[in-house]
Structures are given as structure tokens and as C-alpha cells.
Structure 1
């Protein structure tokens, strides 16, 4: 698994890098078939003071790419909500993949019994 953490108008410190890696352990624990993860952390220069910190992630799995973004006043809070959203999407994808192997209707046993005519 390749992990890329980059900053836009922001220097990615070792503390931020370690925080993101620790949070991504939760995703790896739930679903280990991740090919590539790209995390982009951004500080926007908006006139309004709220929601200036933005975290976004592209998670590439076999057959699917998941994109999630989160905005907050605090960068760590943005990362937390980002990981929560990503975890929900990964769990949804995992359940779809696992449920895909259900039995086909043509292979189910015949349980139909015709009604008796009087």
C-alpha cells in the first residue's frame, strides 16, 4: 500500500503525518485490499474564519476509487471527520463485495408445492 500525504499552503509536520497514519490504521484493519492512498491537507485563505482547514483523501482499491473530503476550523478535527466518512464508505463497499457471492435463484432448491385440486 502506497501512502502519500501532501499539503497545500501547509507544511506537513511529522506530528500531522503520524496522526494521519495512526487514523488510517482503522481503515486498514477493516479492509486490507487497499492499493493506494493519497491524502491532501489544505488551508484555504477564506475571508470567513470558519471551515478554513480542508482534508481530502483518494483511496484506491481493486475495482473502485473512494474520494472523501472534510472541512473544519481545526485540521485535526477535519482529519477525524474525514476518517469517519471514509470508514463508513469502506465498510459499505466491503459489505457489497461480500454480499455479491450470494446464491443464484436457479441454484436454490425447489420448494414450490402445487395446491391440490378438489
Structure 2
């Protein structure tokens, strides 16, 4: 798994890098076929009172690319919201992938006719 964390108008400190890394462990716990992850952290300075922190992630897994973004007034809150959204999408994708291998009802033999 390749993990790339970059910042736009924000310095990515080791503390932020470690926080993102520990939060992404939850994604790997649900789905282990992750190929590539790119996290971009951005600070938009509209005014001094209105700093908007944006976190977006591109997740490349086998068969699909997932893009999620989140906005908050705090960078850590944006990361938390981002991971929650990503976790829901990964679980949804995992259910779709694992749910289609069941047999259709019309192909199951009827025990009453046997």
C-alpha cells in the first residue's frame, strides 16, 4: 500500500502524518485490498476568522477508485469526518463485491421436488 500525504498552504507535520496514518488503520481493518492512497490537506484563508480546512482522499482499490472530501474549521475534525465518510464507502463497496457471488433463487434445487 502506497500512502502519500501532501499539504497545500499547510505544513504536514509528523504529528499530522501519524494522525492520518492511525486513522487509516480502520480502513485497512475493513478492506485489505488497498493499492494506493493519496491524502491532500488544504487550508483556505478567506479571512483570519474564517479559516477553512479541507481534507480529500483518493483511494485506489482493486476494481474501483474512491474520492472523498471533507470541510471543517479544524484540520483534525476534517480528517475525522473524511475517514468516517471513506469508511462508509469502503464498507459499501466491500458488501457489493462480496454479495454478488451467491446463487440465484431459481438455481437452488427445491427440496420438496426431490
TM-score by length of 2: 0.91
Query: How far apart, in 1, do the equivalents of 2:20 and 2:14 lie?
Result: 10
Larger strand share, 1 or 2 = 2
Contact 1:23 1:83 (8 Å CA) reproduced: yes
State which structure, 1 or 2, has the greater radius of gyration over its C-alpha atoms: 1
Unaligned 5+ segments in structure 2 are none
Give the CA deviation at 1:47: 3.7
Counterparts in 2 of 1:25-104, with a 5 A limit? 25-47=25-47, 49-50=49-50, 52-104=52-104
The CA RMSD measured in Å over matched residues stands at 1.8
Query: How far apart, in 2, do the equivalents of 1:43 and 1:73 lie?
Result: 9
The 3 A distance-change label for structure 1 pair 19 and 67 is same
TM-score by length of 1: 0.88
Contact 2:43 2:51 (8 Å CA) reproduced: no
Contact 1:59 1:65 (8 Å CA) reproduced: yes
Moved over 2 A (4+): 47-51, 104-107, 110-113
After superposition, what is the alpha-carbon deviation per residue over 1:38-77, rounded to whole angstroms, capped at 9, x for unaligned?
0000001224844600000000001100000000000000
Query: How far apart, in 2, do the equivalents of 1:100 and 1:46 lie?
Result: 47
Contact 2:33 2:61 (8 Å CA) reproduced: yes
